[in-house]
Every structure is written in C-alpha cells, then in structure tokens.
Chains A and B, each alone.
Chain A
Amino acid sequence: MSETRRITYRDAIREALSEALTKDERVFLMGEDVGRYGGAYACSKGLLEEFGEERIRDTPLSESGFTGAGIGAALAGMRPIIEVMTVNFSLLCLDQIVNNAATLRHMSGGQFSVPVVIRMATGAGRQLAAQHSHSLENWYAHVPGLRVLAPATVVDARGMLWSALECPDPVIIFEHAMLYNEEGDIASEGPWTADIDHAAVRRDGDDATLITYGGSLPKTLAAANSLAEDGISCDVIDLRSLRPLDRERIVASVVKTHRAVIVDEGWKTGSLAGEVSAQITESAFFDLDAPVERVCTAEAPIPYAQHLELAALPSEEKIVAAVRKALRI
C-alpha cells in the first residue's frame, strides 16, 4: 500500500491551487483578497509570494466584473480560477455565470468554450446569520452549460480542482465552509486527480440509501455509524457532481436497499434533494418500499442564535430519524 499523509481540506485546496499554477501557465487565481490577505478562508495563503501578483490577482469588490473577466479570459484561452468568497456574494455575479458562462458554447453553435473554474464557499454552521449561510448549490445545478462539483472529502478537495481545470466547460466548485478544518489522508504522491463524473459510495449497506453531498457528508456518515450500532446498514452516496447528477449510481443503490433518504443543506422547497427524489421516483419507483425522505434546512433564513441555527440545519439525529421512518421502525 502506498504512503499517505494527513492534511486538512484547506491545505488540500491550497496544494491543488499551487500544483495547478505550477503545471499550467494559463492558470491564474483571481478574487477578493486572494493575494495579500491569503484568501478569506486562507486557501491561497503563501501563493502570492510564490506566483506573483499577475497570477494571484487581488480584485476590487466587483463580483460581476471579475467573474465576467475570468469568463472572458477563459474565452481567450486562459484557465482562470475565480474565487468568489462565498455563494452569498456569487449572487452579484449570477448574470455572468448564468447568462454568459453557461450559454456561450451553445449560443455560439459550439464555437466558443469557457474553461473557467469558479470556486466558492457555501453553507451554514458558524452563526453567520441570514446573509452568510446560504446553500444555493441547486441554483447553479439547475443551469445547463455548467458543471457543479461539491468536494466533500480531503481527497476530492485535493483532486477535483485539476480535473475541473481540464474540463473545457465552466465548472463551479462548492467548498462547504465547515469542511476547511476537516482532516483526511491523501496519497503522498500524485497524481491527485478526482473523478468528477460519478458519485462515490462512502459506505455500503443494504437497508437504506443515504444520498448527500458536500458539508452534509460528515453528518450523514455519523448517522450511518449510529444506525449501524442498531444493526441498520446504509449505503451512503456522496454525489460529488451536482450537475450532472449520477442517476445511475443513485438508482442502483435504491434498487438494492428500497429506501432513500436525501440529506441536503439547501432549503427543502425546490431543492437538489427534490431533484434527486424525482429521479428516484422516475427510475426506481417500483423498487421503493417507502416514500423518499428528505432532510433539509428549515424554511427560514438561517438565524444567528446557535440553538436556532442548529435547529434549522440537518443533523445526525434528524438523519437517523428519517432513516427509521423510511424503515418503519
């Protein structure tokens, strides 16, 4: 077995950035405070010194401006990595992502491609209240022309960036802010690429299928562990790619277990969980033994007070309860 080393999710992102900047001179990082500050989540700390101001490019607070510039640079053959500090701010550049990046290839009859990678932090859990806690992955996953990734593990955080850069289409990478301090083992030596086309099965089981992504994976695995103590074994599927969704893997698991519980930090109404649920009923209806369960965030802006925030978000307990409900026990 090959050697491994233990690093944090944040380190994994930084290593991946550094590697990409080293390997391909068309790559550059652009965003608010990515340079001197070292990144709002410190993912680019030290990169300015290593790669210089041209390639670690601090921008003004102009989300639409610099995201559009990244799309334009990609159109001209560069491989920009745009860091939008958080998904909340990305609403200010939704026009550039949805109206330009996502459409250009198709609208030009295939003449142009936009190989841009847009990274952003997402999610709640740090008492940041209503405007800094969104999980709007589903907004982007709704849009044809984009690819949407959600690395939930250190290995994926290390590998997905390069795989995304190799993709000729715009790729949005969602990094859940609660994951940055998570630790994990990665291979000591590369190549560190990740499969960005398929969901991963993080745990095997027969009684129910738990489907999740990003920041909800740790909670879901904890719930699966606790259920295992009671003799209930669950498949845990980490979607990894939110667009396209790996329907085949989801369906294969549900056909095996007959019960599905989807864990998604987005609000339930119009959620990705809803889409996954619809795909299950479309493709595995006759294999279901119970209605599909969804564990999502309560339908309210995320509150500040900790007890309220916790009550709003998916939790291990809620996931366990949902599995038990699906199993009718």
Chain B
Amino acid sequence: MRDQYEGVEISAEHLRELARQMILIRRFEEKCAELYSTEKIRGFLHLYIGEEANAVGVMQALLPDDRVVATYREHGHALARGLPATEVMAEMYGKATGSSRGRGGSMHICSADHRFYGGFAIVGGGLPLAVGLGLADRMRGKTHVTCCFFGEGAAAEGEFHEALNLAALWRLPVLFICENNGYAMGTALERSESETDIHRHAESYNISAEIVDGMDVCAVEEAARRAVSKIRAGEGPYFLENKTYRFRAHSMFDAELYRAKEEVEEWKERGPLVQFKPCIIEHSLLAESDFEEIESDVANVVEEAVAFAEAAPWEPVEDLLKDVVTPRENMA
C-alpha cells in the first residue's frame, strides 16, 4: 500500500468501512461455502474470496443513482453495493424474502432499490445491457454512471467488443471493470487470449483505460473515482483492468487441476486484507482491536443473515408463474 491515493480519504473512519466491507464479504462467503456443502445452498456457487478489494473499492466511487451490472460471481458486489446480507443470504437459500424472491439464487442477486441489475450468468451478456442503461441516461441528460463488472474471460466474447464499440461510438457513461483473475473458469488467460493486456482492447476502441492493482482496495477506489469523474464530465466510457486473483476454486465442484498450489499461495500473500491490515495498523489509523471489533460485528451480521434465511418462508408454489410476464388485467 502507498501512503497517498488521489481522491481517497485516508481517515480511520473510511478505512474502517473499507475493512468492514471486505471482511463482511469474506466471512459471508466462507459461510456460504459451509452452507453449500451441507446442501442449504444449491445450484452453482462462485466465490469472490480474494477479489474483495475490487467491488469494495469501486463502489466507493458510485452514487445511489448510479447503476451496477455484475456477473455470476456477484455476492461481493451486492454486499458492497449495500444490499442487506439477510436478503442476499435468503436468496442463496431460495427463500421468499430473498432479494429475487428465490427465483435468482446465487447467480442472480438483484435489487431495484440499489440499482443493482444483478448477476448475469452468460459471460459477456451483461455488457450490452450496461451500454443500454448508459444510453438511457445519456438520452435523458442524466449524469448517472453505469458500472459494469466482468471477468477477463468476457474479452473473448463478441458481446464484449460490440459493447465497447457502441459505448465508445456513442460516448456513453459506462464504467467497464474487468476483474482479471487470470482464469476463465479453468483456462488461463494466455491460453485463451492473443492479447493478454485486456485494457488494450479498450484502447483500440478509443476508450480511456488503465491497469489497477486489484488487491489494493485504495488503489481500486482511486482509479474508480478518477474514472467516474471523467465519465460524469461527459468524456464517455472508461475501462479499468483490475489485476486480481480468486483464492477459491471457480465454483464449489472444481478440483483446480489447472493451476499450481504455489501460485495460489503466492497470491494469498498479496491478499486484499493481508496487505491492508498491517499497513493500516502500522500507520496507527486503526488498531488490532478495531479489527477484532469488525470481525465480531461481521460475525453477528452473518449469523443474523443465516438465521433470517433459515426462518424465511418459501415462496408458495402457486406463485410459480408469477412475474413471468405482467398479467394483462393489470394493464391500463
């Protein structure tokens, strides 16, 4: 960590909040892994552990009216965006009080209130949508920013290129965040891309782009603030390539045959909390006791989320067909 980050408030209060959000995501997901192995959570479960700095850092730069489009690895984004852990956990359980009333599950956490358009399970599928959200704001003269997260695997999809081209062509207020964790499921970047510097694709579409240390939450916040202010100023889209790493497998049922344990260990040493915590303590901004307090608060939040989800009712089967389309009798 550096001493200074442009535009980032290095105060105890702010750093404490960054730490709290990252720890919340970590503990929440660890609990999810446990609940998955006992079959409380089903479907696919993609954990964000190791990548927390990205969602937490970027969200600092967004306002409530901004919009967020994420991927199927989006629990961290949802929590960082402020969705209640209770509703997110209930959604994981498939309960009626889940954020998507049990219809979305782990991959489709949504919240209209938070302008969180959800996790999208088709790689690259969220990008054109983000372009459209940006287009709507642009056409109506709004200064909202649409922030679109995706992995480096999306760069191989046609939709990635179509979306970048459209956003640049129409100078749309879209912040593209490529969370480059090095692996598209099990395929290493260099085995799937002829251009391994993903941000260079953006540059080829005349989009301002930069590489960010995705393991340093302040660096991510700094870059996101810079990008957002340019977008709000009407300079068109912006592209961040955040170099990061997932510590856990792609999904729960993954033997990780494609990467070396040593590599995982090396990245873990650079983990977002590993580099953050000692540095903050060394600068006397927060004390060890602050972290203990955060851990204890977070444990309560997670416990409460699980209790909420356990106690939550199931959506009645009679409502299976609800919200497929709008009932016509409800129409004017």
The residues of A with any CB-CB pair to B shorter than 8 Å are: 28, 54, 59-60, 62, 64-78, 80, 95-96, 99-100, 104-113, 144-147, 166-169, 197
Contacts and interface: CB of A to CB of B under 8 A. Distances in A.
Contacts of A76: 67, 132-133, 136-137
Given A107-B104, A108-B104, A168-B326, 5 more contacts: A69-B166, A76-B132, A77-B136, A113-B326, A167-B331
Contact of A68 (B100, B110, B127): B127
A95 B122 contact: yes
Interface in B62-113: 67, 98-104, 108, 110-112
B165 interface: yes
A175 to B, nearest CB: 22
B163 A108 contact: no
Interface in B273-332: 322-326, 328, 331-332
B283 to A, nearest CB: 42
Contact of A75 (B98, B100, B133, B166): B133
B30 interface: no
B159 interface: yes
B129 A68 contact: yes
Nearest to A169: B325
Interface in B130-183: 130-137, 139-140, 146, 158-159, 162-163, 165-166, 169
Contacts of B326: 105, 113, 167-169
A67 B128 contact: yes
Contacts of B100: 107-109, 111
Nearest to B113: A111
B123 to A, nearest CB: 10
Nearest to B172: A69
Nearest to B109: A108
Contacts of B132: 68-76, 80
Contacts of A112: 110, 112, 117-118
A219 B205 CA distance: 49
A104 B104 CA distance: 9
A28 B104 contact: no
Nearest to B112: A111
Contact of A72 (B122, B135, B328): B135
Nearest to A68: B128
A68 B322 CA distance: 24
8 contacts: A60-B162, A65-B165, A65-B166, A68-B163, A73-B132, A75-B133, A108-B110, A145-B325
A47 to B, nearest CB: 16
B131 A75 contact: no
B159 A95 contact: yes
Which of the listed residues A65, A77, A96 has the most CB atoms from chain B within 10 Å of its own CB? Answer: A65
A66 B125 CA distance: 12
Contacts of A147: 325
Interface residues of B, number: 47
Q: A-B pairs with the 7 shortest C-beta distances?
A: A72-B132, A68-B128, A65-B162, A109-B101, A76-B136, A69-B132, A110-B323
A83 to B, nearest CB: 15
Contacts of B98: 109
Contact of A62 (B99, B121, B136, B166): B166
A180 B211 CA distance: 52
B175 to A, nearest CB: 14
Given A75-B132, A107-B103, A54 B125 contact: no
B130 A72 contact: yes
A75 B159 CA distance: 18
A95 B331 CA distance: 28
Contacts of A77: 136
Contacts of A197: 328
A73 B104 CA distance: 22
B237 to A, nearest CB: 13
A269 to B, nearest CB: 27
A197 B146 CA distance: 35
A73 to B, nearest CB: 4
Given A105-B323, A109-B110, A65 B163 contact: yes
Contacts of A75: 117, 129, 132-133, 136
B120 interface: yes
B135 A64 contact: no
Given A95-B125, A113-B326, A72 B110 contact: no
B131 A72 contact: yes
A111 B112 CA distance: 6
Given A76-B136, A145-B324, A62 B162 contact: yes
Contacts of B120: 99-100
